[in-house]
Amino acid sequence: NAGVTQTPKFQVLKTGQSMTLQCAQDMNHNSMYWYRQDPGMGLRLIYYSASEGTTDKGEVPNGYNVSRLNKREFSLRLESAAPSQTSVYFCASSEVWFSRANYGYTFGSGTRLTVV
């Protein structure tokens, strides 16, 4: 019953370095998401994938790229890290919409990223 698994849990990067955050879910969910959480600002959507093979920008996509590798996996890449990307990153997954209802997200445990 792993749910949503994120790796790594902690990471320190130097400005300009690149890295990929990994996310995998075992619930056969179609939709996956990447959010960042900063103090006082709540969760902000970076990118999402409504279904395998599709990705779309969210509220704060600049400086990030994503790949929906298959139905289970959705990765987030920082090409050239900046101190403004210091944050806690959460991956989430959910069922697709049925009759305008949404069944909510299941979140991973998060990645705490510090860019120095």
Partner 1 sequence: QKEVEQNSGPLSVPEGAIASLNCTYSDRVSQSFFWYRQYSGKSPELIMSIYSNGDKEDGRFTAQLNKASQYVSLLIRDSQPSDSATYLCAVSGGYNKLIFGAGTRLAVHP
Stretch of 12-20, 35-43, 61-69, 77-85 lying at the interface with partner 1 (CB under 8 A): 35-43
Contact 93, 25 (CB under 8 A): yes
Stretch of 16-24, 28-36, 66-74, 79-87 lying at the interface with partner 1 (CB under 8 A): 28-36
Q: Residue 4 or residue 78: which is nearer to partner 1 going by CB?
A: 4
Which residue in 25, 38, 42, 46 sits closest to 106, CA to CA? 25
List Cα–Cα distances, 65 to 18, 38, 79, in angstroms: 11, 19, 8
Quick one: which of 58, 65, 67, 86 contacts partner 1 (CB under 8 A)? 58
Contacting residues toward partner 1, per CB under 8 A: 31, 33, 35, 40-45, 48, 50, 58, 90, 94, 96-97, 100-110
